[in-house]
């Protein structure tokens, strides 16, 4: 709460989702969604209009994220990510689950047609045909 009192823009907000119930009754091993046993999910939503305000807003959001790490399970929820890179996508899954998803991607989308998301690349991309 103390950090939020220093928010640089009134559009920025935090979402704290209470989990449990039906979410927690399904094993994390049974679906792609991880951390089902976590009691809460925190979403930091930094919003501002002026490009000149990028630096203080990004710094504020990253500072909050760092302060919350001691309370974190260490992972990420894939649907809340921006363009954060492959390492961050991997952090959303256990290593075994990620490899299972790579296998599914290889089977059902070997050309990586559905790549405009938090992409999991198939194991082998076929060579383009001429």
Model pLDDT for residues 56-88, shown as the tens digit of each residue: 999 999 999 999 999 988 778 888 887 788 888
Instruction: Give me the residue label for tokens 């194991």.
Output: 123
Question: Alpha-carbon Rg of the chain, whole angstroms?
Answer: 18
Paired tokens of 28: 């994390």
* Predicted confidence (pLDDT) per residue in 99-123, tens digit: 989 999 999 999 999 988 888 888 7
Residues pairing with 17 in the sheet: 41
Distance CA 89, CA 119 (A): 7
């Amino acid at each position: 709460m103390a950090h939020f009192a220093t928010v640089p823009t009134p559009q920025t907000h935090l979402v704290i989702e209470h989990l449990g119930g039906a979410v927690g009754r399904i094993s994390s091993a049974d679906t792609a969604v991880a951390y089902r046993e976590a009691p809460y999910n925190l979403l930091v939503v930094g919003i501002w209009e002026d490009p000149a305000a990028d630096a203080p807003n990004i710094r504020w959001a990253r500072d909050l994220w760092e302060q919350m790490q001691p309370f974190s399970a260490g992972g990420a929820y894939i649907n809340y990510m921006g363009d954060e890179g492959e390492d961050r996508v991997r952090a959303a899954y256990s290593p075994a689950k990620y490899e299972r998803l790579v296998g599914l991607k290889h089977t059902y989308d070997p050309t990586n047609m559905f790549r405009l998301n938090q992409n999991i690349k198939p194991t082998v991309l076929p060579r383009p045909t001429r």
